[in-house]
Amino acid sequence: MGIEVVVEGLTKSFGKQNIWQDVSLTLPAGEVSVMLGPSGTGKTVFLKSIIGLLKPEKGRVLINGVDMVNSPERDIMETRKLFGLMFQDGALFGSMSLFDNIAFPLREHTRKKESEIRRIVMERIDVVGLLGAEGKLPGEISGGMRKRAGLARALVLDPQIILCDEPDSGLDPVRTAYLSQLLIDLNAQIDATMLIVTHNLDIAATVPDNMGMLFCRNLVTFGPREVLLTSDMPVVSQFLAGRREGPIGMSEEKDAATLAAEQTSGNGWGHAAPRTVVPQLEPSPGMPVRQAALRRRERVVSMMGQLPEAARTAIMNSYTPTLGGGRR
């Protein structure tokens, strides 16, 4: 089972530019979480801070008792072995075959025999649907295949925490749908804690157990997916609807004069129509039951009293059959 990740009061700047401040959240063990946000809000910086590749000025990231911000470097390096990281572009070595790219972490970080490495690599290649392409170079395959190869490489060390940085970038809607299903199937198989950074609304609506959003140097919200998907906060409503009207501008946030003019004009934000929360993806036929979904149901039902009414209604609607026994 995956490992809980606890983020407390994280603040990161580059020089005088504050990226985000006082971010606190918990990634529940084994569940799939998504971090949304407009471009330029520091989502990738957040991923790199969790794994200890960047050092925030304040706060802690606790994983198995190790603080990825402040602990000794040897402890951080050891804990980093628990992670698998899927980069935006796959980050594959152009001169290596897909097989050698995927085998690289095993050859670099373990003393396994080549026969064992081959077994593991071919298993992961099979999981991501790339059997037959293992001899090809990254330049000889499509962007979607490179993404899946990057995911296979992230899996070879049996990670308990998987970080995916915009896995959908450059993919068409059909390939994005396949990737979304692959991520859910993967979670069903290995029960790893997963955090996906994206601004793709299809992934956001169908994949995660939990959702958060970064905007204007702050964590707007983080919690069960239904909280964000039913939120009437202007920035959330604007982002989910893909509208121009709202706090998000071309350069992240609009100035006060523009916001005031919008709200008093005929194009004012008003109240967004209630959104329908679409069902979360289920594992493909033949896959095991997703244990994270069972744990999440218990956790979310226990916190119902703390949630907004719209989120409670959406949760009750999604779990209605199971409250008497049934789906999920």
Are 98 and 134 spatial neighbours (Cβ–Cβ below 8 Å)?
A: yes
pLDDT confidence band for 253 (50 / 70 / 90): low
Q: What is the pLDDT of residue 40?
A: 82
CA dihedral 233, 234, 240, 245 (to 10 degrees): 170
pLDDT higher than threshold 60 for residue 124? yes
Is the pTM of the predicted complex or chain greater than 0.85?
yes
Q: How far apart are the first and last CA of the chain?
A: 18
Average per-residue pLDDT for the chain? 88
Q: What is the pLDDT of residue 102?
A: 95
Say which range, 43-47, 118-122, 140-144, 272-276, has the weakest mean pLDDT: 272-276
Q: What is the pLDDT of residue 327?
A: 45
Q: Which of 205, 211, 225 is nearest to 281 (CA)?
A: 205
Q: What is the pLDDT of residue 144?
A: 84
Please name the residues in contact with 231: beta carbons below 8 A apart, sequence gap of 6 or more.
221, 237, 308, 310
pLDDT confidence band for 256 (50 / 70 / 90): low
Residue of 267 and 40 predicted with greater confidence:
40
pLDDT higher than threshold 50 for residue 326? no
pLDDT confidence band for 143 (50 / 70 / 90): confident
**Average of pLDDT values for 8-21?**
94
pLDDT above 70: percentage of residues in the chain: 89
Residue of 255 and 299 predicted with greater confidence:
299
- The two three-digit tokens of residue 218, written as one number: 């702050």
Domains in the chain: ranges and CATH: 5-82+159-230 (3.40.50.300), 233-273 (no CATH)
